[in-house]
Structure 1
Amino acid sequence: MQWYTGNTTYDTVLTIGFAFAAFVMIGGMFAQSPYGRFTSTKIGLNLNPKLGWWLMELPATVVFAVFYLTGPDPFSPTPLVLAAIWVLHYANRGWFFPLSIRQVPGKTSSFNFSVVAAGVFVTALHGYLNGAFFSHDYLNQYSTAWLTDPRFLLGLVVYLCGFALLVHSESIVRNLRDKNDPGAAEYRIPRGGAFRLVSSPAYLGELIAWAGFALLTWSLAGVVILLITAGNLVPRAFATHRWYREKFADYPTDRKALIPGLI
């Protein structure tokens, strides 16, 4: 299948990525991934959330590094900048976020193993598609001039805005639990920041970040992860909004689920 880069292996994996994105988008209409508040103890093995998140995100770091560093052009300016953006994202998502989770003492099973398995597949796929694409520059688009291209500059601004929203929103949620007494209340209504407007600002930030990433890389690999993320997080945002409204009688009625003022 030489329809994008001309590299048979890469194009085949990219095709698999789009097929999986379609599967996630269709599946998300019928059920939520079993982790966090939507964990089901009826489905297989559940893991400690810190361990589950770390295992799920680990391939994004390892697989990316392998295929990026073994490619022919890992130390050119543009691939290095793109790799730095990748490292920024997964230093937070794959390492800081899992280690910073404040879990209820004694609660060891809130992350379903099926989620870990699916996540490992996605992050390995994601790591390969981007690590190989950056370092091989299959389409000959990543000269130094790319760093001043309007698509890169606009995409970088969009990405950084989304990333900032993601990190800030996750910080608000994390601080709902007292560091010294995380079991005092398992769930509370988050307030402040973008929570004034929507129930899931972290999901919105993640979607904005990956939209910016797709633009700044100008690659189908970026589109794949954006579609997979949307297929998972958009239905989950609506389910989370319903969950909050059902659980808390005083939940703010003017908050939307995902997009301020709209839905």
Structure 2
Amino acid sequence: MIAGWQAIPHEAKRENMQCRQDVVQWCSWGFMLLGLGFLVRQKKTETPYGRYVDPSEGRRMVPARVAWFAQELPSFLVPVLLLATAEESSSMGRALLLCTFCLHYFQRTFIYALLIHGRPCPLCIMISAIVFCSCNGFFQGYYLLRCAEYEHSWLRDARLWIGLIVFYAGMAINIHSDQILRKLRKPGETDYRIPRGGLFEYISGANFFGEIVEWFGYAIATWSMPAFSFALFTMCSIGPRAYHHHRFYQKNFKGYPKSRKAVVPFIF
């Protein structure tokens, strides 16, 4: 396989790379349209998992820890497998960005999923999440390893370091907010309480805000359409959920702080 690749003439290589770039562009537009579809759908109704599941509907349910582990794992495992089977060694820039992507999903798969005390998840939601995470893990990994070119000069580019700072700031917000939510109730408890501390003093969806910030930081660091399309998808899919949580708190807690916004501090 390697020998065959090395035998391809320079012009053929360029055409092959252009074909890959075209596929990446179309997939990126597809992700953005899918995200906008989620946004429109969630304006009408909440995604049925967690507090929005109606037990009377008789859905097949999966324990929260099992569901989160299964659906997050492909986003970590697929890029790692792509890296392990890559025919060419990765540049420092590509390796750094791929490790950044995988770090988020390592935390979500092997730490967050094992600590969560959430309600069971509908089987159909888990399966759809597995499919999406598998596709996105392949898409992001494939782009970085087969399409992107990050020379050594990229390590001195301001976009890389600004993006990484934003990414890790968002990750810190996300992890800290999840920790606050976990401490609201003990294992076995199902009632809801008002989260306090951290960015929850300003917004109802601090954990969602942190993840949105993460992926826009990643988009800046990679400066690529695939990463931006995923960041937009994330915002469109979990941003409305933060808004639904905000309405839930306002409806069920009379003393809920009126100064809190839903997703973005001081704005919305």
Report the TM-score when normalising by structure 2: 0.86
Q: CA deviation at 1:40?
A: 3.0
How has the CA–CA distance of structure 1 residues 27 and 5 changed in structure 2, closer, same or farther, with 3 Å as cutoff?
A: farther
Q: CA deviation at 1:92?
A: 1.2
Q: Is the 8 A contact 1:172 1:191 kept in 2?
A: yes
Q: CA deviation at 1:128?
A: 0.9
Q: CA deviation at 1:65?
A: 1.7
Q: Is the 8 A contact 2:177 2:207 kept in 1?
A: yes
1:89 alignment partner in structure 2: 104
CA distance in 2 between partners of 1:25 and 1:72 (Å): 39
State the number of aligned residues.
251
Equivalent residue runs for 1:133-152 within 5 Å: 133-136=143-146, 138-140=147-149, 142-152=150-160
| Secondary structure in structure 1 of the residue aligned to 2:163 | helix
Equivalent residue runs for 1:191-210 within 5 Å: 191-210=196-215
1:106 alignment partner in structure 2: none
Q: Is the 8 A contact 2:25 2:226 kept in 1?
A: no
Mean alpha-carbon deviation: is it higher for 144-153 or for 27-36? 27-36
| Secondary structure in structure 1 of the residue aligned to 2:142 | helix
Q: CA deviation at 1:211?
A: 0.5
Deviation per CA, 1:107-153: give whole Å up to 9, x if none.
xx6311222122112211211111111212x243x112112111111
Q: CA deviation at 1:11?
A: 4.9
1:130 alignment partner in structure 2: 140
CA distance in 1 between partners of 2:68 and 2:189 (Å): 23
Of 243, 247, 256, which aligns to 1:251? 256
CA distance in 2 between partners of 1:15 and 1:231 (Å): 14
| Secondary structure in structure 2 of the residue aligned to 1:241 | helix
How has the CA–CA distance of structure 1 residues 32 and 74 changed in structure 2, closer, same or farther, with 3 Å as cutoff?
A: farther
CA distance in 2 between partners of 1:114 and 1:224 (Å): 24
Could you list the runs of 5+ residues in structure 2 that have no partner in the other structure?
1-14
- Are 2:31 and 1:23 aligned? no
Equivalent residue runs for 1:157-196 within 5 Å: 157-178=165-186, 182-184=187-189, 186-196=191-201
Could you list the runs of 5+ residues in structure 1 that have no partner in the other structure?
104-108
- Are 2:60 and 1:45 aligned? yes
Q: Is the 8 A contact 1:162 1:206 kept in 2?
A: yes
CA distance in 1 between partners of 2:33 and 2:189 (Å): 43
CA distance in 2 between partners of 1:232 and 1:163 (Å): 18
Report the TM-score when normalising by structure 1: 0.87
Q: CA deviation at 1:19?
A: 3.6
Of 40, 45, 48, which aligns to 1:34? 48
Of 90, 104, 112, which aligns to 2:122? 112
Mean alpha-carbon deviation: is it higher for 55-64 or for 11-20? 11-20
Q: Is the 8 A contact 2:204 2:261 kept in 1?
A: yes
Structure with max Cα Rg: 2
| Secondary structure in structure 2 of the residue aligned to 1:6 | helix
1:76 alignment partner in structure 2: 91
Q: In percent, how many aligned pairs have the same letter?
A: 28
CA distance in 2 between partners of 1:37 and 1:216 (Å): 35
Of 224, 231, 235, which aligns to 1:226? 231
- Richer in helix (by share): 2
Q: Is the 8 A contact 1:82 1:217 kept in 2?
A: yes
Q: CA deviation at 1:195?
A: 0.8
